[in-house]
Structure 1
Amino acid sequence: MRETDLDDVFAEFERRTAPTFRPPGLAAAGRRVRDRRVRRRGLLAGVVALLLAGPGGAYALAGRGGDGNRPTPTPSPTASPPDDRPVRRTVTVPGVRGELRQLTFVDARHGWASFDTCDPEDVGSTDCRRDLARTTDGGVTWRRMVLPAVANEPTTTPESLLLLPTDDQQLTVAIGDRYLVTTDGGASFTEHQIDAPPRVTRLATASRSGYLLRCPDDDRLSSHIPCARQRLMRVDGAAVPAQPPLDLAANADKSLVEGGDDRLWVAVRNGNRMTVTVSDDGAVTWRKLPTVAGAAGLLVSPDGTDVWLVSMNPESGTRLAGPKRVWALRGDRWQEQPGLPDDTFAAVAANDGVLAVTGVSGGGGYWVDGRYVDEPALGGRRRDGGEAFIARVLPDDTIVMSYPTGIVLGTGPGVDRSWTWLS
């Protein structure tokens, strides 16, 4: 999991909720996002280089600068046996009014949802109610969690509640200039200033065992004091024995991932080249892996067994021109595999050597053993109705895909999964 800057989190939250839950006043914004992507895809087909604005600076074309011996991506979509239609559930909570704004799960059974009656165009409104709900059975039933009265006070920004879950009991609700934190499943909350996040909140943005990348001497999640370089740090303040041997410039495109086997992975992309370092002893020692030209994203399965590089940013779904390349880590070497379908929008790593893949037109499927297979329950990757805005895999290997009409949970091993639509 990447270290998160709260400013970026709020920006990403607005981007995701605009098309996902269609709050009042933001439907047009969602259409504009999709229209821009359609125009951008047409432009990418005719250019020879692509520059993407972001912390890593300029991205070169994926696929350029390879060794010339890479295998030609030739996987062809094949249909898997027909599955039962996915279960569809509407998120309804007794006593709660308003629109569903955010829906997030920490495992297959435990999730949080936020609702409000607020008009995003009416900043500072005094007639606005915000609610929180929790499920412990995969979204079958929901129970309202009573928020402190301060959650319904007028704010000076149009953002709704932002949910930052740590686990099924611990949750941070960011609202306005404060954090509301529960450590008992929503039974009670404590209030904290935005510039003094408690440990629970920092854990929500850190790796599994509490590592993160941030500016030194700055405890805030959203740092307004720039620094030249970030450092690998612990949320509890304990010293990290050794820093990864990489240039962690504050504006570099980098990621921190920790799998279920406790190995730490830090990746930095410099232009068209990505370098990954790994520690299997709690940051006491680091091992630098060969640099790979054309790679843009690091993927690690929840159990930590499988490690991949892909030629796209897997977290944002950024699509680069050219073939969608994949490299698997074999020992200490990266071995290129047959690529993903050319219309891949995003990919994430599940257990058992599986990559979950979404398409630019929505839907999705699996990449496994060098071949892509449609998932009928998702309509296949050419499904009409809009693209997926995010795909991720939870620590228990549950696949989560977010679509313009809600989120989809895929539970089970490998490609043998049951799917549940929640909206």
Structure 2
Amino acid sequence: MRETDLNDVFAEFEARTAPTFRPPGLATAQHRVRDRRRHRRALLAGVAALLLAGPGGVYAVAGRDGDRTSPTPAPSPTASPSPGGPPVARRIAVPGVTGEVRDLRFVDSRHGWALFDTCDARAFTDCRRALARTEDGGVTWRKTALPATANRPTPGGPPRLEVVDGRRLTVAVDSRYLVTTDGGASFTEHPVTAPPSTTQLAWATRSGFSLRCPGTNARTGPAGNGGCPRPDLVRIGQGTVAAQPPVNLGTDLDGQLIESGDGRLWATVREGAGMTVVVSDDRAATWRKLPTVPGARRLLVSPDGAHAWAVDIDQSDYSGSAGKRVWALDGDRWRERIGLPDDTVTVEAVNAGFLAVTGAYGTAGFWTPAGYVDSGEVRGSLRGGSEESMSVEVLPDDTVVLHQPGAWIIGVGTGPQRVWTRIS
């Protein structure tokens, strides 16, 4: 319907009624208004809106009169937040489960496990424990019944989760391993002196490579609790690897064993003032030795294997001291790049040539070859902006997990552009 200028309407009304205005003529004017309402319902609906809304309504209609195109509808809110925004807060709520979240482990962006208990954080006695898992990134959680053994006192500390994937998990409690291979539908129990293959896989690389003292199944080597003069490289379920790395990976040499997504195996040892790196491109069939990196203490490899870095900081250094150097692997040579922030506490490699970094004062961000990019929205969401430091972990699918006591922040995306979820 064609819109009518309001000024013309009122001018016409005034011209017709002013010469004859008197009490008896009011009925005639009202009749004309009613007639006009029947023919111009849309217009007089607008007049009514003007009278109710006051001057603000007049400006709204005036603006529409100059632009006769239909207004653009406002976009509906989306379920998923945009990358770079503040973290979405989610609390783990499981019907019938009480207590605090003692341990939480994600295996990728969607699958994770949470362990609850009701015991005192200092004594770890008189406890009731429960397990829950998620398959949608922490949106919903489902309770998993634990054996009664899980409620045993643990004077040495809380139980811990050893995760393989969304269906295979070990709960290490007291002197027992409680193991499930079917998502928690059933559990088997094993003494700590005889860890089953599922538990061993939780300690191993993504395709089952691990370090083990000869003649034992105990966890050992760089990632283990025990030690021996020279551990063997093994593959769980297949035994000792024929072609051992050409370096000694004993615990006193502070070594590492890493498997990247492209199938390469990396092993490191620190000798003297430098770090030696050996790499296998064919799943431990052959090895080649890279140049020693003077001053380096730790190797970082992106989940997809496209980038390797050496840094002079390790995960046990919480001093926040200066001098955080970075070297990038270029072919078979190490080239030094711009350093990490002086207050760096933990650092891990992500895909696309970035490093995820946490600082000594509650900071978190990403290092790039051009400099550091702070993620202020992450810092502000943890404990009301607390300056307590966080740790960082990068999962095989490039998901970033930041952890501070009582809260975990999961980052899904590429490089600094991530959607963050705070889980507590």
Q: What's the TM-score once normalised by structure 2's chain length?
A: 0.76
Deviations 1:170-213 (A, max 9, x none): 00001111111111111111111111111110000001111112
Deviations 1:117-148 (A, max 9, x none): 1124445x4x3211111111111111110001
Name the residue aligned to 2:39: none
Shift of residue 275, structure 1, vs aligned partner: 0.5
Shift of residue 323, structure 1, vs aligned partner: 1.5
- 8 Å contact 2:320–2:360 — kept in the other structure? no
Larger Rg: 2
Output the CA distance in 2 between the equivalents of 1:202 and 1:286: 24
- 8 Å contact 2:318–2:360 — kept in the other structure? no
Name the residue aligned to 1:370: 370
Name the residue aligned to 2:270: 269
1:119 equivalent to 2:117? Answer no
Q: Kindly tell me: are residues 249 and 84 of structure 1, through their superposed partners in 2, closer, same or farther at Cα, counting changes over 3 Å?
A: closer
Amino acid at match of 1:94: P
Amino acid at match of 2:416: V
Amino acid at match of 1:195: T
- Tell me the secondary structure at the aligned position of residue 157 of structure 2: coil
Name the residue aligned to 1:390: 391
- 8 Å contact 1:409–1:420 — kept in the other structure? yes
- 8 Å contact 2:341–2:372 — kept in the other structure? yes
Output the CA distance in 2 between the equivalents of 1:205 and 1:235: 10
- Tell me the secondary structure at the aligned position of residue 199 of structure 2: helix
Shift of residue 321, structure 1, vs aligned partner: 4.0
Q: Kindly tell me: are residues 399 and 82 of structure 1, through their superposed partners in 2, closer, same or farther at Cα, counting changes over 3 Å?
A: closer
Name the residue aligned to 1:406: 407
Name the residue aligned to 2:418: 417
Deviations 1:60-107 (A, max 9, x none): xxxxxxxxxxxxxxxxxxxxx994221011112110111111111101
- Tell me the secondary structure at the aligned position of residue 197 of structure 1: coil
Output the CA distance in 2 between the equivalents of 1:213 and 1:169: 24
Quick check: which one's helix share is greater? 2
Which range moved further: 287-296 or 374-383? 374-383
Which range moved further: 218-227 or 332-341? 218-227
Name the residue aligned to 2:16: none
Name the residue aligned to 2:301: 300
- 8 Å contact 2:98–2:116 — kept in the other structure? yes
- 8 Å contact 1:210–1:234 — kept in the other structure? yes
Shift of residue 225, structure 1, vs aligned partner: 7.5
Amino acid at match of 2:167: Q
Q: 2:215 aligns with which of 217, 225, 240?
A: 217
Amino acid at match of 1:415: P
Name the residue aligned to 1:15: none
Deviations 1:141-181 (A, max 9, x none): 111100011212344x2422210000111000011111111
Name the residue aligned to 1:199: 197
Name the residue aligned to 2:130: 131
Output the CA distance in 2 between the equivalents of 1:384 and 1:361: 10
Amino acid at match of 1:185: G
Q: How do 1:103-252 residues align onto structure 2 when only pairs under 5 Å count?
A: 103-122=104-123, 125=125, 127-155=126-154, 157-221=155-219, 227-252=228-253
Q: Kindly tell me: are residues 330 and 139 of structure 1, through their superposed partners in 2, closer, same or farther at Cα, counting changes over 3 Å?
A: same
Output the CA distance in 1 between the equivalents of 2:151 and 2:323: 48
Q: How do 1:355-366 residues align onto structure 2 when only pairs under 5 Å count?
A: 355-366=355-366
Output the CA distance in 2 between the equivalents of 1:375 and 1:257: 27
Deviations 1:35-71 (A, max 9, x none): xxxxxxxxxxxxxxxxxxxxxxxxxxxxxxxxxxxxx
Output the CA distance in 1 between the equivalents of 2:226 and 2:172: 21
Output the CA distance in 1 between the equivalents of 2:299 and 2:123: 40
Amino acid at match of 2:90: R
Shift of residue 219, structure 1, vs aligned partner: 1.0
Output the CA distance in 1 between the equivalents of 2:209 and 2:305: 16
Name the residue aligned to 2:340: 340
Over aligned residues, Cα RMSD in angstroms? Answer: 2.3
Output the CA distance in 2 between the equivalents of 1:204 and 1:321: 33
Q: What's the TM-score once normalised by structure 1's chain length?
A: 0.76
Q: Relative contact order (C-alpha < 8 Å, sep 6+): which is higher? A: 1
Amino acid at match of 2:189: E
Name the residue aligned to 1:76: none
Output the CA distance in 1 between the equivalents of 2:123 and 2:240: 46
- 8 Å contact 2:212–2:218 — kept in the other structure? no
Shift of residue 318, structure 1, vs aligned partner: 4.1
User: Gapped runs of 5+ residues in structure 2?
Assistant: 1-81
Output the CA distance in 1 between the equivalents of 2:148 and 2:175: 15
Output the CA distance in 2 between the equivalents of 1:120 and 1:215: 34
- Tell me the secondary structure at the aligned position of residue 325 of structure 2: strand
User: Gapped runs of 5+ residues in structure 1?
Assistant: 1-80
Output the CA distance in 2 between the equivalents of 1:148 and 1:93: 18
Name the residue aligned to 1:281: 282
- 8 Å contact 2:112–2:133 — kept in the other structure? yes
- Tell me the secondary structure at the aligned position of residue 377 of structure 1: helix
- 8 Å contact 2:232–2:240 — kept in the other structure? no
Which range moved further: 181-190 or 113-122? 113-122
- 8 Å contact 1:327–1:335 — kept in the other structure? yes
Of all paired residues, the percent bearing the same amino acid is: 53
Which range moved further: 166-175 or 266-275? 266-275
Q: Kindly tell me: are residues 143 and 243 of structure 1, through their superposed partners in 2, closer, same or farther at Cα, counting changes over 3 Å?
A: same
- 8 Å contact 2:312–2:326 — kept in the other structure? yes
Q: How many residue pairs align between the two structures? A: 339
Name the residue aligned to 1:28: none
- 8 Å contact 1:364–1:380 — kept in the other structure? no
